[in-house]
């Protein structure tokens, strides 16, 4: 039986955007579609107070941004990008192509073709999320994407040097200092100065996520990667101090970020509540984390770990951290999560920033039907067929004639009839 030690009013299961987001996004996309660069500039001024001569950075501007960074930052960006690249390369190896002769004379095959042009969004409203550049751009390049146009906001009119460097070193072909709906809309529909892409990738706030949702169909999107979520499953062996630190690590993303503890131990739950209160005091991002914890934080007490895994699966949280005596057990017991973090030696922030797995992950229940961004999202798995003998063609033709007529598809049936008749050196009855 589950009970609550702390229950917020709004939970992660709320599938709708905050009020007004949908309408705002619709209006911005419509204006970018009809007015192009003029609308992009007007909305950039309105939402970001940013209206440079050109939104696209020149090579000189990129070099200047890199030069302003400490050497260690540049080194760290390169190290993390190698980690992301290594993992993406491993994923690439799991994508197989094949060709098989399934019947004599019938050859079927599967090929993997990279998407041609991708728009990579790197968030930057609250924090310059340069790590998202590694995740979206490095992975696209490992997949073989030819053109990556990357965008990030210049929040408060400040050029985010580290994000620019990360986008550049990740291999972006074009870098735009542009944020929010106007950025993803411009990339998707194209403007006088920005060529349209085929696919949008990257995380973002509720506006960015909603914009991708509305543009889906016109372009492909990676997944619904909105405001960050964390859920921790813990038993009595967990350290309350560490649990509190890890919950707050994600709550600081934004006031709409849920942080949930599911535990079998009432004592642990109560200690975590106290720890969070005391740790919030010294946190520089306190205002945001406190609001997130107040409005979206939960501590749920369950009878045993079986129930804990079931509750966690119901939430289908973006990140699930397992702090129990036997964390690996969750690999067999859980099915709905964006990424799983096993044991106290790891943490969600490793995945966010350094370890090499992708941090662009499903939110708001999307983990029920998708995993996170990976090399395969940038690749179209297509099929082909070749029938190399007239005998095989005739057999399939006869089968097609019957199968299509069962559905009243006379035109389709005739394509089959013709193949069957050709093999016998004849014309179909309907052709004479
Ligand atoms: N799910 C994931 O994989 C994942 C990964 C990283 C980050 N995130 C999330 O990304 C988000 C980043 O958010 P952010 O806000 O810091 O940066 P952001 O870049 O996503 O959004 C900033 C932009 O939002 C637009 N905007 C802000 N207020 C607006 C309004 N009232 N109307 C219209 N547009 C408006 C502005 O144009 C601004 O440039 C966080 O919620 C974080 O949790 C998710
Ligand atoms: N927690 C985010 C994924 O939802 C990723 C991130 C990047 N930087 C900090 N955090
Ligand atoms: Zn994070």
Examine the domain organization and report whether 344 and 305 are in the same domain.
Answer: yes
Provide DSSP, 284-297: TTHHHHHHHHHHHE
Question: CA–CA separation, 300 vs 2, rounded Å?
Answer: 6
Q: Retrieve residue 73's tokens.
A: 């930052």
Sheet containing 259-263, strands listed edge to edge, beginning at the edge strand earlier in sequence:
3-6, 297-301, 259-263, 230-234, 319-323, 339-342
Question: CA–CA separation, 402 vs 408, rounded Å?
Answer: 10
Return the H-helix or E-strand segment holding 98.
strand 98-103
Eight-state DSSP code of residue 138: I
CA of 380 to the centre of ligand 3 (A): 29
Which one from 168, 296, 319, 365 is the annotated catalytic residue?
Answer: 319
Examine the domain organization and report whether 9 and 108 are in the same domain.
Answer: no
Mean pLDDT, the chain, rounded, equals 96
Residue 247 lies in a domain: yes
Is 296 annotated as catalytic? no
Which one from 318, 344, 359, 395 is the annotated catalytic residue?
Answer: 318
Cβ contact 430:417 at 8 Å:
yes
Examine the domain organization and report whether 60 and 158 are in the same domain.
Answer: yes
Using DSSP's 3-state secondary structure scheme, residue 93 falls into helix
Ligand 2 atom nearest to 360, measured from its CA: 3
Residue with tokens 């007015």: 35
Among all bound ligands, the one having the nearest atom to the CA of 353 is 2
Nearest CA to ligand 1 atom 21: 125
Segments of the chain with pLDDT less than 70? 9-17
Examine the domain organization and report whether 266 and 140 are in the same domain.
Answer: no
Residue 177 lies in a domain: yes
Nearest CA to ligand 2 atom 4: 228
Residue 195 lies in a domain: yes
ipTM beyond cut 0.90: yes
Final residue before a domain boundary, out of 173, 191, 222: 222
Return the H-helix or E-strand segment holding 99.
strand 98-103
Sheet containing 106-114, strands listed edge to edge, beginning at the edge strand earlier in sequence:
98-103, 106-114, 379-387
Examine the domain organization and report whether 87 and 164 are in the same domain.
Answer: yes
Nearest CA to ligand 2 atom 5: 352
CA of 406 to the centre of ligand 1 (A): 52
Nearest CA to ligand 1 atom 22: 125
Residue 378 lies in a domain: no
Per residue in 6-37, pLDDT (tens digit) is 877 544 434 346 779 999 999 999 999 999 99
Give the model's pLDDT for residue 13: 38
Examine the domain organization and report whether 50 and 133 are in the same domain.
Answer: yes
Is 359 annotated as catalytic? no
Final residue before a domain boundary, out of 187, 203, 222: 222
Examine the domain organization and report whether 166 and 54 are in the same domain.
Answer: yes
| Long-range CB pairs of 364-367, under 8 A, 24+ apart, other chains included | 364/12, 364/14, 364/15, 364/224, 364/226, 364/229, 365/12, 365/13, 365/15, 365/315, 365/316, 366/223, 366/224, 366/316, 367/316, 367/317, 367/318, 367/336, 367/337, 367/338
Give the model's pLDDT for residue 322: 98
Give the model's pLDDT for residue 254: 92
The candidate with the shortest Cα–Cα distance to 116, out of 171, 195, 184, 198, is 198
The residues lining ligand 1, judged by C-beta closer than 6 Å to any ligand atom, are: 24, 47-48, 123-127, 129, 132, 153, 179-181, 203-205, 207-208, 225-228, 253-254, 257, 318, 359-361, 363
Question: CA–CA separation, 160 vs 129, rounded Å?
Answer: 9
Residue 26 lies in a domain: no
Residue 28 lies in a domain: no
Residue 304 lies in a domain: yes
Residue 412 assigned to a binding site? yes
Domain CATH for 234: 3.40.50.1980
- Tell me the best of 200, 203, 211 to mutate to test the pocket of ligand 1, counting ligand atoms within 8 Å of each CB and taking the most: 203
Half-sphere exposure of 16 (CA within 13 A, CB side): 7
Nearest CA to ligand 2 atom 6: 352
Examine the domain organization and report whether 234 and 212 are in the same domain.
Answer: no
Give the model's pLDDT for residue 12: 41
Final residue before a domain boundary, out of 207, 222, 237: 222
Give the model's pLDDT for residue 156: 86
Examine the domain organization and report whether 41 and 145 are in the same domain.
Answer: yes
Helical H segments across 176-236, by residue range: 180-189, 206-215
Chain centre distance of CA 214: 15
- Strands 297-301 and 3-6: what pairing? antiparallel
Examine the domain organization and report whether 210 and 72 are in the same domain.
Answer: yes
Examine the domain organization and report whether 310 and 233 are in the same domain.
Answer: yes
Ligand 1 atom nearest to 126, measured from its CA: 16
CA of 205 to the centre of ligand 1 (A): 3
**How large is the C-alpha radius of gyration of the chain?**
26
Q: How many domains does the chain have?
A: 3
Q: Is 310 exposed, middle or buried (0-12, 13-18, 19+ CB in 10 A)?
A: middle
Examine the domain organization and report whether 285 and 399 are in the same domain.
Answer: no
Q: What spatial distance separates the first Cα and last Cα of the chain, rounded to whole Å?
A: 75
Residue with tokens 């939430």: 315
Per residue in 58-86, pLDDT (tens digit) is 999 999 999 999 999 999 999 999 999 99
Distant-in-sequence, close-in-space partners of 90: CB < 8 Å, separation ≥ 6? none
Question: CA–CA separation, 353 vs 358, rounded Å?
Answer: 9
Residue 408 assigned to a binding site? no
Q: Tell me which residue range forms the domain holding 104.
A: 36-222
CA of 229 to the centre of ligand 1 (A): 14
Q: Retrieve residue 267's tokens.
A: 């004592």
Residue 293 lies in a domain: yes
The candidate with the shortest Cα–Cα distance to 28, out of 45, 15, 16, is 45
Model pTM above 0.90: yes
Question: CA–CA separation, 193 vs 204, rounded Å?
Answer: 23
CA of 124 to the centre of ligand 2 (A): 12
Residue with tokens 């870098």: 175
Eight-state DSSP code of residue 407: T
């Amino acid at each position: 039986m589950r009970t609550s030690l702390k229950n917020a009013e709004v939970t992660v299961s709320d599938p709708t955007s905050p009020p007004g987001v949908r309408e705002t996004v619709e209006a911005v996309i419509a204006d970018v579609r009809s007015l192009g660069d003029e609308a992009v500039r007007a909305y950039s001024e309105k939402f970001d107070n940013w209206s440079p001569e050109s939104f696209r950075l020149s090579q000189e501007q990129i070099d200047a941004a890199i030069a302003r960074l400490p050497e260690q930052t540049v080194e760290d960006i390169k190290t993390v990008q190698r980690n992301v690249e290594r993992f993406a390369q491993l994923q690439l190896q799991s994508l197989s192509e094949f060709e098989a002769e399934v019947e004599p004379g019938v050859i079927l095959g599967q090929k993997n073709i990279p998407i041609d042009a991708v728009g990579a969004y790197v968030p930057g409203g609250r924090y310059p999320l340069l790590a998202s550049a590694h995740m979206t751009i490095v992975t696209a390049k490992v997949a073989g994407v030819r053109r990556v146009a990357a965008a990030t906001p210049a929040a408060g009119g400040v050029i985010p040097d580290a994000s620019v460097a990360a986008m550049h070193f990740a291999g972006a072909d074009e870098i735009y200092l542009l944020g929010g709906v106007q950025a993803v809309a411009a990339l998707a529909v194209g403007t006088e100065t920005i060529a349209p892409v085929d696919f949008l990738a990257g995380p973002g706030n509720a506006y960015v996520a909603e914009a991708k949702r509305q543009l889906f169909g016109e372009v492909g999107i990676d997944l619904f990667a909105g405001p960050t979520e964390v859920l921790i499953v813990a038993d009595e062996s967990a350290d309350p101090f560490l649990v509190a630190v890890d919950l707050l690590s994600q709550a600081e993303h934004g006031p709409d970020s849920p942080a949930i503890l599911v535990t079998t131990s009432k004592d642990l739950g109560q200690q975590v509540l106290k720890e969070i209160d005391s740790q919030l005091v010294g946190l520089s991002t306190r205002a945001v984390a406190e609001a997130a914890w107040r409005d979206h934080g939960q501590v749920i007490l369950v009878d045993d770990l079986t129930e804990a895994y079931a509750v966690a699966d119901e939430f289908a949280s973006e990140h699930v951290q397992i702090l129990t005596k036997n964390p690996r057990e969750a690999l067999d017991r859980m099915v709905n999560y964006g990424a799983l973090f096993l044991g106290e030696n790891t943490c969600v922030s490793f995945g966010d920033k350094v370890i090499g797995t992708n941090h662009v992950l499903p939110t708001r229940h999307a983990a029920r039907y998708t995993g996170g961004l990976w090399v395969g999202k940038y690749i179209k798995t297509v099929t082909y067929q070749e029938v190399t003998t007239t005998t095989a063609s005739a057999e399939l033709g006869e089968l097609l004639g019957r199968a299509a007529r069962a559905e009243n598809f006379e035109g389709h049936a005739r394509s089959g009839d013709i193949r069957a008749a050709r093999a016998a050196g004849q014309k179909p009855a309907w052709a004479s």
